[in-house]
Structure 1
Amino acid sequence: EKNYRTVDAADFGLDENSEDNYSAFCSAIAYCRENPNTRLVVGGGKYHFRTDREIVLDGLKNTIIDADGAQFVFEHPNYFRITDCDCIEFRGLSITWNLNASRLGSIVKVKKVNRIKHSFEIEFTELGEVSEDIPIMAFTQYDAKTLTPGVSKNFKENYVYQHPDIIKSVTKTKSNVLKITHNGDLDDFRNGDVFLLRHHVYDGNVFNVFKTSNITFSGVKIYAAAGMGWLIENRTERFQLLDCVIGLDPEHVNDHRISATADGVHIANTNGKFRISGCDFSFMGDDDVNVHDNLLSVTEVVDKNTVGYYTNANNLAVGDTVIFNSERFSDLDFSAKVTAMNGETITFDRDLPETVGKGCIIYNGSIDSGNYVISNNYFHENRARGLLLQSDNGLCENNTFYKTMANPIKIIMDISSGLWLEGSGVNTLTVRNNTFKECNVVKWSPQIDISSNIDGNSADCALFYNIVIENNRFENFQGDLLRASNVSNLSFCGNTTDNREGKITNGRGNIKINGECSKITVNGNKFRPSARAPFQGRIKFKSIKSVL
């Protein structure tokens, strides 16, 4: 860096008083592209971006964007597209949304429920005026007192945008009240229920990173964004997020209770080797971090070496090696290289064996989003899960998890056709020295869940190997402590559970070892005595091959 030239973004026209800084910033990026070894300084202040186009950073090398104290304010879900770059760093930049142009989400309170007429009213408690045209995308129940995601009893949620026929009509009854008539699917809503109503979900992503290596985000803050914070994919490798924040906008903590409207960090189909350390993620509309590679399902065998396929995210290219599994993920002991492909078929360099047929699951053996460290972070008060860890060679240590709406850690291979096909199994993962406080508010699943899902069924083999969960502390949670399926060589040792607060339930703190498990070690765990969790530490076994 000491040999880098320094340029000021203001010299390209970036100005706090400008109506739109899109062209000026793109000009600065063009200079960096043409002049590697450049440090681009963005002065402190707020800069508006109103052009409905992505800011493209392509082909940059040895570039630092030093924006400590600068905030970019967007009002369209087009942010940064970073592709084919090497050795670049974002420093200190903060991102937020222009709430004067539109809202990302709103707190609403349910009134005047009429289950006979399938209607109710919602009061926008943060607003004095609301339009009946405001987008109604997803309802997630919030705690009425803390205004955080999830409630422990009779939790309700509805992704309206996935089923647009739910809403029949919307009419305005008062300045900040809308009456919703629906098809009956929302009849479980009750008077007094409080929801976060999202107006955006998967609209865009702040940082889209493709085919890039050696990229660092340091001290970057995302306060309000339509979509994900980071989407990192397409063979990107060697990347890190250090001391970054996703959280409520400090200027709107009391009137805008969502940060990113989808995942915090979504890592897929990369070449891995990443670190997430010292970060603080909260109030997203989905998981904190999801790391995986995508799967494909064979829809037909076209000829001797060609198949039709289905996937939600194609990650194959000519020359890649494909691994073949049965429809329940048993290894077929067959692989082949891709020689040609289009949007419907894949052709291989070898004839397919008779064991390959419709329903078989295949994945790309030439990519691997593994080899990572997630450490010293604070994950809290977000919708859905904390970490979805679906790739090899991971270390998760010294993190704090607090009031994640669902379980804080999920290790899974998950096929939900029509939505996603994720995760080819995990070999070698250590989860240690973490603290989990009051997590899994809505009791979706255990604190640590190791499992498979193939459209409602489990895999018929082990998918997870060499999993170590040790020296963690779990405090005041509902539901099971651990559930494990499809795992071989699992060590759950030296963990501490303290469930002295919360509701009295017999199942709190249970350990369940389910099907397709072997070589399970559960030893040296401490359970602080509690009348509120009388059977914690109880271990239930089902169809396991061996227990140590």
Structure 2
Amino acid sequence: RCISATADGCHISNSLGSFLMEYCDFSGNGDDCLNIHDNSVQNFERLDSRSIAIGNVFPWRNPFALGDPVEFRHPDLSPTGVTATVADADWDERGQRCVLTFGEALPSDLSAKSILFNRRYNSGHYVVRHNFFHHNRARGVLLHASDGLVEHNYFYRNQGPAIQIECGAEARWAEGFGVDNLTIRNNRIESCDVNHWSMAVIYMGVYLEQGRTRYPIFRDIAIERNTIVDCPQQAVFVSSCERVAIRGNALLNPNAGPPKSDQEGDANCVPNRSLYQGTIMASHCREVVIEHNRRIAVAPAADDRIWVEADSAGSVEIRGNHGFLEVG
């Protein structure tokens, strides 16, 4: 079946997960080809010991209801240790506002900038394989959910990254509860991130008001045996993570485009572009292994290094890589 979309090609969100997507062809979309996520909310107004008001919410996007377990996270996505059960949800759809009343009192020191995860939903447990994601505005696949396998897909000329692993909250949008246990393997990624959106064709990061977080919201992730061809900037960028392996990937002509400044991008581009260094980069992370990757260049490259941001990274092992002239 041929379907055209002015936004994402396929949304899987606020679900109970467990799905298989294979042998599909996505192109011509006005945004991401595939977006797997559950929606979060940041900021609340305390009304009394058991009730809070949240704004910029809609029942279809943030379906809070009786009995839902709501976890409160610190603004940096780290756990507060507080989970409360919804006793009542009073919606004002016109005002994009909802009053949540919980069955128990909330701690008095809970920050009004907390991020709320509705743990009723978990769109994880998925397999995405043998698909063709191409010629669309934005990302090939956007992954905000855990327990996934993404393999044997072909990504071609996606405007943003081919694969983006993400979690965050801001005024206009908030998606994802973090990603654990994800394998990305044996994919072919060619000529993606054509608009230099996120600096890497495989990009792992958060978007938060205060910037990156050292809390590892991404855990136990393997990026292995992928073939990446003709990317304009970085091949792989990982951050806010732990226990990540970047292993056995083949990179042909990475960093093939001229570096762009913050002024040359659009509103979707990551800020502070000068901070992104190397062909493979790790920051705000721990227990990362970068090994047995091969880089081949038959065209001039703007960078050729494996770069670890020393001030924010710990326990990064680099070994057995070929074609990288410098390790930072």
For the Cα contact (< 8 Å) 1:298–1:307, is it kept in 2? no
Q: Is the 8 Å Cα contact of residues 414 and 452 (structure 1) preserved in structure 2?
A: yes
1:404 aligned partner, one-letter code: N
Change (3 A) 1:403 1:456: farther
> Aligned match of 1:482 in 233, 236, 243?
236
Q: 1:505/1:530 Cα in 2 relative to 1: closer, same or farther (>3 Å)?
A: farther
2:254 and 2:74 map into 1 onto residues whose CA distance is 46
In the alignment, is the contact (CA less than 8 A) between 1:433 and 1:470 conserved in 2?
yes
Residues 503, 425 of structure 1: alpha-carbon distance in 2 compared, 3 angstrom cutoff: closer
Contact 1:470 1:494 in 2 (8 A): yes
| Code of the aligned partner of 1:518 | R
Give TM-score, length-normalised by structure 1.
0.51
State whether structure 2 residue 295 is matched by structure 1 residue 547: no
Q: Distance in 2 between matches of 1:317 and 1:278?
A: 36
Give the match's secondary structure for 1:221: coil
Q: 1:367 to 1:511 in 2, by over 3 A?
A: same
CA distance 1:503–1:324, change in 2 (3 Å) = closer
8 Å contact from structure 1 (residues 479, 508) kept in 2: no
The answer as to whether partners of 2:278 and 2:307 remain within 8 angstroms in 1 is no
- Structure with higher Rg: it is 1
Displacement of 1:393:
0.4
CA distance, structure 1, for counterparts of residue 130 and residue 258 of structure 2: 32
**TM superposition shift of 1:309:** 1.2
- The 8 Å contact of residues 86 and 103 in structure 2, kept in 1 or not, is answered as yes
Which residue matches 2:84? 336
- In the alignment, the residues of structure 2 paired with residue 535 and residue 501 of structure 1 have an alpha-carbon distance, to the nearest angstrom, of 6
Look up the match of 1:387: 141
Q: Structure 1, residues 73-125: CA drift from partner, whole Å, max 9, x if none?
A: xxxxxxxxxxxxxxxxxxxxxxxxxxxxxxxxxxxxxxxxxxxxxxxxxxxxx
Give 1:536 deviation, angstroms: 2.4
Structure 2: which 5+ residue stretches go unaligned? Answer: 92-97, 261-275, 318-328
Give me the whole-angstrom Cα distance separating, in 2, the residues matched to 1:283 and 1:388.
16
Deviations 1:271-300 (A, max 9, x none): 111111001111111100011000022321
Q: Tell me which of the two structures has the higher relative contact order, counting C-alpha pairs closer than 8 angstroms and 6 or more residues apart.
A: 2
* Cα distance in 2, alignment partners of residues 294 and 533 from structure 1: 39
The offset of 1:456, in angstroms, is 5.7
Residue matched to 2:295: 527
When residues 376 and 305 of structure 1 are mapped into structure 2, their CA distance, relative to the original with a 3 A threshold, is same
Count of aligned positions: 291
1:324 aligns with 2:60: no
Indicate yes or no: 2:96 matched with 1:347: no
2:27 to 282, 296, 300: 282
Aligned alpha-carbon RMSD (Å) = 2.0
Is the contact made by 1:480 and 1:509 (CA closer than 8 Å) also made in structure 2?
yes
Question: How many angstroms apart in 2 are the aligned matches of 1:499 and 1:290?
Answer: 28
Match of 1:400?
154
TM-fit CA distance, 1:489: 0.5
Contact in 2 for aligned 1:509/1:533 (Cα 8 Å)? no
Aligned partner letter, 1:546: S
Per-residue deviation at 1:533?
2.1
Letter in 2 for 1:545: G
Q: CA deviation at 1:364?
A: 0.9
Read off the aligned partner of 1:319 and give its amino acid letter: G
Greater CA deviation, 378-387 or 530-539? 530-539
Given that 1:338 and 1:349 are in contact with CA atoms closer than 8 Å, whether structure 2 keeps it comes out as: yes
The one of 281, 288, 294 aligned to 1:512: 281
CA distance in 2, matches of 1:310, 1:267: 23
**1:296 lines up with 2:41 in the alignment:** yes
Quote the Cα distance in structure 2 between the aligned partners of 1:458 and 1:345: 30
Structure 1 residue 339, shift from structure 2 partner? 0.7
CA contact (8 A) 2:115 2:169 kept: no
Q: What pairs with 1:96-495 in structure 2 (closer than 5 Å)?
A: 220-222=1-3, 259-312=4-57, 313-343=61-91, 344-418=98-172, 420-445=173-198, 446-455=200-209, 457-495=211-249
Distance (Å, rounded) in 1 between the aligned partners of 2:34 and 2:277:
26
Find the aligned partners of 2:220 and 2:159 in 1 and give their Cα distance.
28
Closer/same/farther in 2, CA of residues 523 and 301 from structure 1, 3 Å limit: same
Aligned pairs for 1:46-57 (under 5 A) are none
Is the CA contact (8 Å cut-off) linking 1:481 and 1:508 kept in structure 2? no
TM-score (norm 2): 0.84
- Deviation at residue 267 of structure 1 after TM alignment: 1.3
Cα distance in 2 for partners of 1:508, 1:358 equals 36
- Secondary structure of 2:194 counterpart: coil
